Structures are given as C-alpha cells and as structure tokens.
C-alpha cells in the first residue's frame, strides 16, 4: 500500500504545487526499497541476475559485469550488492530529475505508473535510464566542461545496457545547431510510419543485418543480438505495434500544437537536452518490427517526455489537471504495453513487485 499511497500523494502534490521535492524524495526512497528488496519468488529475472553474480558470468554488458565482479571480489553477497545498486540508481535518478524539472512530482508519478513495475525487474535498463537522465541534465548550451561530462556519462550508460547507444547518439546530436536538428526531428517523425509500412511490405532483412552488425561492433550481449536477427520469432505483434504507434503519437502531439507557449518552448535551444531524447521514442515504431525488445526505447524515451511536460507546466500553471490527465493516459498505455502486451510474465506479479502482496503469499 505504501507504493500506491505515495503515488497518489505525488499527484496531489503536483496539483497543489506544494512539497514536490519532499514527496518526490519519499517516493524515490520507496522505489529504491522495493527494487532492493524484491519478492524473490515472484520477480522475473531475479534468479538470472543472482546466478550471473554468484557464478561471475559475463553474459551482460561490460559496465555491469565489471561492477558485479568488483563487489563480488570484495566479498559482498548479491542481496547486498542489489541494495547498493538500487540506492545508487535512485540517487542518480532523483538528482537528474531535480536538475531538469521544477515539477519533479509529475515526473516521478509518471515513472511510478508507466515504468517502475518493469524497471524494478530489468535493473540494468534502469541503471542506463538514470545515467542517461543525468547525462542530458549536464548538457548545457555554452558550457563546454559540463557538456563533455554529459557525453561521458551517456557513454557510461552504454556499458550497462545496449540501448544506451541511442541516447549517446542523441547526446552527440545535442551539438548540432537547434534549427537544423529540429527540422531533422520533424522529418523523422513524419516519415516513421510510412517507412514502417514499407518495411512490412517489402521485408526488414536489410535492417536486421545493419543492426546485428552494429550490436556486434558495440559489444552488445549475444542473446540480445540473437533476439534481433530472429525477427520473425520475436517481432512485436500487430496489436502491440498499433499501441506503440498510439503512444508515440500521443507523446509527441503536444509539441506540434500551434499554441504560442508551446512553440516558444519547442523552438528554445535550451529545451533540446530533453526534446532530443524524447524524439528518440519515434524510432521504436520501426525497431519493434525487428525485435519486441526495442519497445524499451519508447519506455525509456517517455521519461524525457514526462520531463518535457513538467517543464511546460510552468507555462500553463492554471491547467495542471489537464496536463496530469494527459500524462496519466500516456503512462497507463505504456504500463499496459510493457506489463501485459510485451512482458506478460511481469504483469502477473505486479502486486508482488509494488509490495502489495508479501512474497510468502502465492
């Protein structure tokens, strides 16, 4: 009940615009506790992570493998290692959100609904998301040292999950003049659906080969590469793909409105450190045709979209309920896509993941 309670309080805090940082910290502490102390018997991937740690396997990305090896050599048991990891993740996550937003409760609320139940399981992906947020928060126009640090953090994120390379690419795009980059993002957004339909009609084998080569060159874990090239066994289902399109369109729709405040925000170069990673979610429409694993890209990019909405709220302070309602629709759709359409096994154990049912209860 604590998880549900703090999530509701986050919504209230956002609506009344009071105690946002305090409530957000309390929510992140709750998230860290639940990730650090999972329902072992009902948490998908827990035993895989524990086996990898205790046997010192090298089946994950190099950064995670090195970190696990370091703590293992210090004699730290997996359970303690996971506690340290969860605490570090949400400290980084919280610092990044506070750096990027004056309305952190909206971001944490969205995260709790849309992402937490799956991120608590796919812990490496969560490390990458936290580092990506921190990296983009460091990217500032005219601040060379901070920007170099930001790109370095984004590179570090790639060593924990392969999808980090997309955000590293987004970090490099940050240095492209905004007026040119903005046009490119618009073109990609408009072209994505026609390209996806074309790939469906004529086949995606060439795209498979390109991405399989890319994953091998970047040192992606082998089973992820196998998932990619065995597209006909692992491609996303039609209903899930249509839901992915709905989420992407809904995520980006506000940025194309002709409202003056939105247009001012959209064309402001200072907004690009959240808008660029937000638009990366568009690629999931095409990439999920290759492998359902790429739905994670949409999930990860949505965090930056939620940050963008939280920044826009300051321009629509009298419309907090409308913004909250809109965000809840998106978060709910992502929650359903992740936990029931793509990873139904995790959907079965949601009550255990959020601490609603003890691990001892079947």
Over residues 83-97, the pLDDT tens digits come to 999 999 999 999 999
Measured CA angle at 253 (ends 335, 239), to 5 deg: 45
So what's the pLDDT on residue 228?
45
Evaluate whether residue 361 is within a structural domain: no
Evaluate whether residue 82 is within a structural domain: yes
Report the C-alpha gap between 96 and 111 in whole angstroms: 13
DSSP label of 342: I
So what's the pLDDT on residue 155?
96
More confident residue, 91 or 260: 91
- 55 in Cβ contact with 117 (< 8 Å): no
Which of 19-33, 121-135, 266-280, 310-324 shows the lowest per-residue confidence on average (mean pLDDT)? 310-324
Evaluate whether residue 328 is within a structural domain: yes
Task: Report pLDDT digits (tens) over 99-136.
Answer: 999 999 999 999 999 999 999 999 999 999 999 999 99
So what's the pLDDT on residue 220?
56
So what's the pLDDT on residue 189?
87
Alpha carbons within 13 angstroms on the beta-carbon side of residue 124 total 25
Residues 6+ apart with CB under 8 A from 107: 24, 97, 100, 101, 303, 306, 307, 310
Evaluate whether residue 100 is within a structural domain: yes
More confident residue, 204 or 94: 94
Distances (CA, A) of 50 to 43, 88, 309: 12, 18, 37
Which of 17-31, 182-196, 197-211, 325-339 shows the lowest per-residue confidence on average (mean pLDDT)? 197-211
Residue 204 has pLDDT above 80, yes or no: no
Residue 311 has pLDDT above 70, yes or no: yes
More confident residue, 73 or 266: 73
Task: Report pLDDT digits (tens) over 133-182.
Answer: 999 999 976 678 888 999 999 999 999 998 999 999 999 998 888 888 88
Confidence band for 232, pLDDT divided at 50, 70 and 90: very low
Give the mean pLDDT of 226-244: 68
Residue 231 has pLDDT above 50, yes or no: no
How many helices (H) and strands (E) in the chain? 22, 0
Average pLDDT, the chain: 88
Give the mean pLDDT of 187-206: 77
Query: If we measure between CA atoms, which residue out of 290, 303, 264 comes closest to residue 170?
Result: 303
Evaluate whether residue 362 is within a structural domain: no
Residue 106 burial (CB count, 10 A): 28
So what's the pLDDT on residue 294?
87
Residue 362 has pLDDT above 80, yes or no: no
- 109 in Cβ contact with 11 (< 8 Å): yes
Residue 8 burial (CB count, 10 A): 11
Domain count, the chain: 1
Residue 28 has pLDDT above 90, yes or no: yes
- 32 in Cβ contact with 89 (< 8 Å): yes
Residue 227 has pLDDT above 50, yes or no: no
Predicted TM-score (pTM) of this structure: 0.91
Evaluate whether residue 360 is within a structural domain: no
Task: Report pLDDT digits (tens) over 284-293.
Answer: 988 888 778 8
Residue 222 has pLDDT above 60, yes or no: no
Evaluate whether residue 359 is within a structural domain: no
Please give the residue range of the domain that contains residue 126.
2-353
Residue 48 has pLDDT above 60, yes or no: yes
Query: If we measure between CA atoms, which residue out of 197, 210, 21 comes closest to residue 102?
Result: 21
Evaluate whether residue 183 is within a structural domain: yes
- 29 in Cβ contact with 86 (< 8 Å): no
């Amino acid at each position: 009940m604590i998880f549900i309670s703090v999530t509701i309080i986050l919504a209230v805090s956002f609506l009344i615009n009071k105690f946002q940082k305090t409530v957000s910290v309390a929510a992140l502490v709750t998230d860290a506790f639940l990730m650090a102390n999972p329902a072992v018997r009902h948490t998908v991937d827990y035993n895989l992570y524990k086996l990898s740690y205790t046997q010192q396997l090298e089946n994950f990305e190099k950064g995670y493998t090195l970190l696990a090896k370091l703590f293992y050599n210090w004699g730290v048991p997996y359970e303690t290692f996971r506690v340290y990891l969860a605490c570090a993740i949400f400290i980084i996550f919280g610092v990044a959100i506070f750096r990027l937003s004056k309305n952190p409760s909206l971001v944490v609320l969205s995260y709790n609904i849309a992402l937490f139940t799956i991120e608590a399981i796919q812990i490496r992906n969560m490390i990458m998301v936290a580092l990506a947020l921190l990296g983009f928060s460091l990217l500032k126009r005219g601040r060379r040292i901070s920007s170099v640090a930001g790109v370095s953090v984004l590179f570090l994120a790639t060593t924990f999950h392969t999808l980090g390379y997309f955000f590293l690419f987004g970090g490099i795009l940050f240095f492209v003049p905004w007026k040119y980059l903005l046009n490119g993002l618009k073109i990609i957004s408009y072209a994505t659906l026609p390209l996806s339909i074309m790939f469906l009609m004529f086949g995606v084998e060439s795209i498979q080969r390109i991405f399989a080569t890319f994953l091998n060159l970047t040192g992606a874990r082998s089973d992820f590469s196998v998932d990619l090239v065995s597209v006909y066994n692992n491609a996303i289902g039609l209903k899930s793909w249509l839901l992915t399109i709905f989420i992407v369109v809904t995520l980006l729709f506000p940025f194309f409105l002709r409202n003056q405040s939105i247009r001012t925000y959209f064309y402001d170069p200072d907004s690009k450190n959240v808008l660029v990673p937000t638009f990366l979610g568009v690629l999931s429409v095409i990439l999920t045709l290759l492998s359902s694993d790429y739905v994670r890209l949409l999930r990860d990019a949505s965090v930056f979209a939620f940050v963008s909405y939280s920044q826009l709220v300051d321009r629509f302070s009298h419309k907090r309920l409308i913004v909250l309602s809109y965000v809840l629709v998106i978060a709910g759709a992502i929650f359903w896509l992740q936990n029931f359409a793509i990873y139904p096994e995790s959907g079965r154990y949601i009550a255990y993941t959020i601490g609603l049912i003890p691990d001892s209860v079947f």
